[in-house]
Structure 1
Amino acid sequence: MEFESIPGVGAKTAAALAELDDAERALETGDVAALAEAPGITQGRAARIARGAIRREHDDDGAFLATDRAREVYREVLGLLADRTVTSYAEARLETFFPSGARSRVEEVREFAREAMERDADAAAIDALAGVEPLSEPRDVTVRDRCLATADAERYREATDAMPELSVEVVEDARGLAELARGYSTVIAIDEAFAGVDVEGDVRVEPDATERPAEIVPERALAFFAANRDRIRAAIDVHRASDLDPDCDLDALEGALERLDDDGTPAGDAELERLTNAVDDLDAAVGTSESVANDRLRESIREQDVTVEGSDLLSLVEQGAGVDSLLSRELADEYAAAVEAARENLIDALDLDSGEAEIARRAFGEDPTFPVEHDEDAISRLREELQAARDRRATRLKTELAQDLADERENARRLVRAALELDVELAVARFAADFECTMPDLVEPAAADGGTAAVQNGRERAGGVAIEGGRSPLLDVPIEEVDPVDYEVGGVALLSGVNSGGKTSTLDLVAAVVILTHMGLPVPAEDADIALFEDLHYHAKTQGTLDAGAFESTVREFADLATGGEGSLVLVDELESITEPGASAKIIAGILEALDENDATGVFVSHLAGEIRETADFEVTVDGIEAEGLVDGELQVNRSPVKDHLARSTPELIVEKLAGEHDSEFYGELLEKFE
């Protein structure tokens, strides 16, 4: 795949994508998490790249949302979906869902959405999703106690690329290996030419070392799983709490994670813990053991009367003897007991085995001295023995665990990826449930003669837009408080009605349903038959009369639409506000005539529906949101537009109310003006 052919992808980004193991799959499926693993690519950037790749695959020019208001409605709808995500990944992933005029893309997402709507938004699964994030790759793993060695420049480059965690040293001969062995605990020569060398130290000749990373540098796998342990555990919990079917043994993976500590070292091994504690506590234990011996010896001296005759004292002085000789002669048993106590204390404090205990006993010698002091050479040897045993066991455990976890690495990736994708599916499922959505039926655009264009599910359906029981999700009230709306339009139509009767919210409903349909997602309605349009032009109500320049620009925009609007859906809210009412009626009539000739579909909300209908040179459909009357000053409205009906205005209703309440010719005559 030519990455630079994706819209918005340059040479630098293409190079980053090339470093991924399976970039093409990630681009085709919109796998934002996988794309974000490329160097320098954030999750948001990954979503934009995936969106560009999808557009290219389906030959989508990205021009479906043709106006600012259309784009606003899309962002509002997308925001409602994002509000129902748990992870930041799912929120970014939703950015790859966009309204498209390409039927192949719409059908692709519809298949996904149908499956998503079958998902059960279990509370436990949603709670577990809070801990799931895309897996990260530790970039700072460095191993300093071993190195690779080679005499070949080409192998040097290969080894450096294969194992960046290790130093790779260039040597010429066995002498070079010997020098490295003095600075590293382990030297691994990767050239066959070194086979059979006899060098002091831990020097191994392993030509295939770079092919066995889990064994040679187990820290790689351990660091990866240590950094992502909580995320993987959360993904495991998601699978257990949901209907996801994992393709690996969750218990085995979880058990392997239990054997790993937060810092990437093996956990749960009693022997390693014993050795580690012994090394860490050695100095403190030695000091405590000295104190035990000296305290015991002092107590023995206090409790005994030691008599030294003059001749004996003179002899000791002449011999240069000191207190040690006195201890040896008078307190030999007590001294031996004190030393034995020190030894036992050291052995018990460090929990030493028999071999280690033998070395530890030498830390306190037989020769009497006061105060009792340890033998530093013996302690150094004990420290070296404990450290070597600890390191050997840690290395073996690391290698074993790394090999086990290396086999689980791809399983972990799939688990996390599936959990993150579940969050996307659940967002769609929850949106559909919250707004009582259904999957719309796709129909062909309305025929030019106004007839039906397609037969689906055994019945004829008009092209364009047909919504039954639709509730706009854009209203700032609970969905259960929104009056359901039925509305159908198959060509161009005017929508009339009283102020605050719901004309704008009806346009918003149509826009939201059409946008969701073209996203391939469920729509907030009991039933919906929607044609696939090439683009959506939604013009919001203009605030105030436009000046000459802005008016000219608006007319030009509609001129372009009128001459090339076939396959377009046009929604316009009170275009008459752009200029004087008389001129507005003529302009709107002309626009409707052009759109009708081009077989476009459109709904124009206007208070000048009657004037426009009289001005237009074709029979304009006028639908009306009918007010049923005023009750206690409150307007009672049937929110579903009545087909082919010019709705009465609010002033007419008020005059009618007054005429009924007062026996006055004025109100009656005034009411006749509306007829």
Structure 2
Amino acid sequence: MDLESIPGVGEKTARSLSALDDPERALRTGDVAAIASAPGISQGRAARIARGAIRHEHDDPGEFLATDRAREVYRSLLALLKDRTVTDYASQRLETLYPSARRSRIEEVQAFTEDALARDPDPDVLEALEGVEPLREPDDVRVRERCLATTDAERYAEAKEAIPELPVEVVEDAQGLAELARGYATVIALDESFAGITVEGDVRVEPDALGNPAEVVPERSLAFFARNRDRIRAAIEVHRVAALDSDYDLAALEGGLSRLAADGTVAGDEELDRLTAAADDVDAAVGTAETVANDHLREAIREQDVTIEGSDLLSLVERGAGVDSLLSRELADEHAAAVEAAREHVSDALALEPGEAELARRIFTDEPTFPVKRDEDAVARLRTELTTARERRASRLKRELAADLADQREAARQLVRDALELDVELAVARFADEFACTMPTVVDDDVGFAIEGGRSPLLEEPVEAIDPVDYEVAGVALLSGVNSGGKTSTLDLVASVVVLAHMGLPVPAEDARLQRFDDLHYHAKTQGTLDAGAFESTVREFADLAQSGEGSLVLVDELESITEPGASAKIIAGILEALEDNGATAVFVSHLAGEIRETAGFDVTVDGIEAVGLVDGELEVNRSPVKDRLARSTPELIVEKLADESEQESESIRERSFYATLLEKFD
């Protein structure tokens, strides 16, 4: 796939998309999460790119929504769908669904929708979805206790690029390796010439290390799982609660994640925990041990009666002896006990193994001193020993865990991807359920549309409170009716059904059959009379439509408001004649239906939303348009009501005659 051929993708974006593992798959399937993982691409932009790729695949110009009002209807319907998502991903993913005139695209989404409608939006599944988010690659992995070493400058550059997580050092010989080993817990020599050398410390000769980064720097893989641990666990829970089919071993993946700490280290290994705690607590343990020894010795001195003969004292003074000599002579046993107590405290506090405990004993010497003091070199040796042992064990455990999780990476990706896509499907299922939707029949014949039991989802009322509407139009029709009778909401219903059907989604009706339209022109009611320039622009727009509107659906709400009523009737009649000749499907809502019918040069159909009457001052309306019926106006109904009341109340003959005369004017 030529990435730059996709609408909205330039050279820079194409380079970013090329960094993906499988950009073609991501674009073909509309995988917003995968596209958004490309450098510099946000999730919102990823949705636009995915939609552009879909349009490119289906050779779709993306011009189905031809007017502002048509686009408003689409955005409103899309908002209703997005309101029923749990994850941000699903909300953005729904942006890739759009009304199309291409049958291949409609059928593609219809197949997706059929699967979606089979889903059960169980509350437990929706709750589990709350923890699912797209996976992210960590970009901050740095390992300082391990390094790569080479004698070759080119190899150095190659290593820096292949494994940026590790420091890379240039050495000249084995002595250089030995020096590195004193500063790093592990040194990995990349040159085969180092094979067979013996160097103190953890030095490994691995000429093929750059080809196996997972072995050399397991932190790379572990960081991925650590960063995404909660998201993967949430996806596993979704699969279990929703009983999704999976070819992956969920228990094995979950077991691997349980051994991984949030910071990417290995969790649950008692020996590693012991070494980590010991290395971190060396100074604190030694400090406390000093206190223990000195408190012990101080108490012994306080309680001990020391008697020194004068000749002995003189002899000690002449020899320059101090308190150490006195301790050695008079308190040797107490000093030895104090030192032993200090050694035991260090060993017990750090839970040292025998070999480590032997190093710890050297921290406090047997030579009598007061106060008892540590040997800093011995402390440093113990700390180095513990740190090195910790890093070696951690490194081994990391390699083992990384190896166990290596084969689970794609499983994790697929599990999360499936969970996120489930949220998209459930949003469609919830929309269909809440608005009593059904799958429409979309045909290639010029049949217009036929809707049974439709309820507009754009009305701000509960679905059960909306009166169902039946309406069918093939060709051109005028829709008449009383004010507030539901003419505009009927147009909204038709527009909603057509838009959703061309998105490949279910429609809010008991049944719907419609032709596959090329585009939708929906003109909302104009507020006030247009000035000359705006009027001219409007007429030009209809002129273009009249010339190339075959296969279009045209919905117009009270176009007569653009100019004077007399002129409006003539203009609308002319537009309808052109649309009729061109084979378009059109519904024009108008209060001038009678005048337009008389002016039009063909037998234009006039449908009516009839008011049954006035009940307590409120209109009672049959919301389904009646075919070939010019609906009575609200004023006519009021005059009729007054005439009936005057007849029943036996008012003056003159008053009854006035109402009857007015009523005759409507005939």
| TM interval, short-chain normalised | over 0.9
Q: What SS class does the counterpart of residue 620 from structure 2 fall into?
A: strand
Paired position in structure 2 for 1:392? 392
For 2:373 and 2:146, the matched residues in 1 are separated by 37
Q: What SS class does the counterpart of residue 662 from structure 1 fall into?
A: helix
Q: Is the 8 A contact 1:171 1:177 kept in 2?
A: yes
Letter in 2 for 1:300: A
Q: Is the 8 A contact 1:445 1:567 kept in 2?
A: no
Paired position in structure 2 for 1:241? 241
For 1:174 and 1:196, the matched residues in 2 are separated by 11
Letter in 1 for 2:663: L
User: After alignment, is 331-340 or 486-495 more displaced?
Assistant: 331-340
Letter in 2 for 1:159: A
Q: Alpha carbon RMSD of aligned pairs, Å?
A: 1.8
Q: What SS class does the counterpart of residue 228 from structure 2 fall into?
A: helix
Paired position in structure 2 for 1:115? 115
Structure 1 residues 243, 598: closer, same or farther in 2, change over 3 A? farther
Paired position in structure 2 for 1:452? none
Where do residues 160-239 of structure 1 align in structure 2 (5 Å cutoff)? 160-169=160-169, 177=177, 181=181, 184-197=184-197, 201-239=201-239
Letter in 2 for 1:135: L
Report Cα offsets for 1:191-213 as digits up to 9, x if no partner. 44554455555443322212222
Paired position in structure 2 for 1:613? 597
Structure 1 residues 278, 203: closer, same or farther in 2, change over 3 A? closer
Q: Is the 8 A contact 1:444 1:464 kept in 2?
A: no
* 1:71 and 2:71 aligned: yes
Letter in 2 for 1:672: E
Letter in 2 for 1:503: K
Paired position in structure 1 for 2:659? 667
Paired position in structure 2 for 1:314? 314
1:528 to 499, 504, 512: 512
Paired position in structure 2 for 1:568? 552
For 1:167 and 1:344, the matched residues in 2 are separated by 39
Letter in 2 for 1:568: S
Letter in 1 for 2:449: V
For 1:562 and 1:370, the matched residues in 2 are separated by 108
2:617 to 615, 633, 636: 633
| Aligned residue pair count | 659
User: After alignment, is 351-360 or 95-104 more displaced?
Assistant: 351-360
* 1:587 and 2:579 aligned: no
For 2:370 and 2:171, the matched residues in 1 are separated by 54
Which runs of 5 or more structure 2 residues have no equivalent in the other structure? 648-655
Structure 1 residues 171, 290: closer, same or farther in 2, change over 3 A? closer
* 1:130 and 2:112 aligned: no
Letter in 1 for 2:617: G
Paired position in structure 1 for 2:475? 491
Paired position in structure 2 for 1:43? 43
Q: What SS class does the counterpart of residue 604 from structure 1 fall into?
A: strand
* 1:414 and 2:414 aligned: yes
For 1:151 and 1:223, the matched residues in 2 are separated by 30
Structure 1 residues 343, 189: closer, same or farther in 2, change over 3 A? closer
Paired position in structure 1 for 2:636? 652
Q: What SS class does the counterpart of residue 473 from structure 1 fall into?
A: coil
For 1:153 and 1:386, the matched residues in 2 are separated by 34
For 2:373 and 2:200, the matched residues in 1 are separated by 35
Letter in 1 for 2:82: A
User: After alignment, is 258-267 or 193-202 more displaced?
Assistant: 193-202
Q: How much does 1:157 deviate?
A: 5.0
Paired position in structure 1 for 2:250? 250
Q: How much does 1:170 deviate?
A: 5.2
Q: Is the 8 A contact 1:282 1:383 kept in 2?
A: yes
Structure 1 residues 548, 77: closer, same or farther in 2, change over 3 A? same
Q: Is the 8 A contact 2:185 2:391 kept in 1?
A: no
Q: Is the 8 A contact 1:445 1:533 kept in 2?
A: no
For 1:278 and 1:191, the matched residues in 2 are separated by 35
For 1:181 and 1:389, the matched residues in 2 are separated by 14
Report Cα offsets for 1:131-153 as digits up to 9, x if no partner. 21111111121223333344556
Q: What SS class does the counterpart of residue 437 from structure 1 fall into?
A: coil
For 2:173 and 2:334, the matched residues in 1 are separated by 60
Paired position in structure 1 for 2:23? 23
For 2:201 and 2:378, the matched residues in 1 are separated by 23
User: After alignment, is 325-334 or 124-133 more displaced?
Assistant: 325-334
Paired position in structure 1 for 2:61? 61
2:581 to 560, 584, 597: 597
For 1:176 and 1:464, the matched residues in 2 are separated by 84
For 1:177 and 1:318, the matched residues in 2 are separated by 54
Q: What SS class does the counterpart of residue 348 from structure 2 fall into?
A: helix
Q: How much does 1:376 deviate?
A: 2.2
Structure 1 residues 281, 332: closer, same or farther in 2, change over 3 A? same
Paired position in structure 1 for 2:652? none
Paired position in structure 2 for 1:449? none
Structure 1 residues 385, 186: closer, same or farther in 2, change over 3 A? closer
* 1:354 and 2:379 aligned: no
Paired position in structure 2 for 1:502? 486
1:466 to 438, 447, 450: 450
For 2:513 and 2:121, the matched residues in 1 are separated by 27
Q: Is the 8 A contact 2:606 2:630 kept in 1?
A: yes
Report Cα offsets for 1:222-256 as digits up to 9, x if no partner. 11111111111111111111132222122211221
1:517 to 494, 501, 505: 501
For 1:645 and 1:654, the matched residues in 2 are separated by 19
For 1:205 and 1:393, the matched residues in 2 are separated by 19
Which runs of 5 or more structure 1 residues have no equivalent in the other structure? 447-462
Paired position in structure 2 for 1:548? 532
For 1:263 and 1:384, the matched residues in 2 are separated by 23
Report Cα offsets for 1:324-344 as digits up to 9, x if no partner. 222223223222222222111
Q: Is the 8 A contact 2:278 2:351 kept in 1?
A: yes
User: After alignment, is 98-107 or 594-603 more displaced?
Assistant: 594-603
Structure 1 residues 272, 545: closer, same or farther in 2, change over 3 A? same
For 2:610 and 2:445, the matched residues in 1 are separated by 28
Q: Is the 8 A contact 1:187 1:202 kept in 2?
A: yes
Letter in 2 for 1:660: D
Q: What SS class does the counterpart of residue 305 from structure 2 fall into?
A: coil
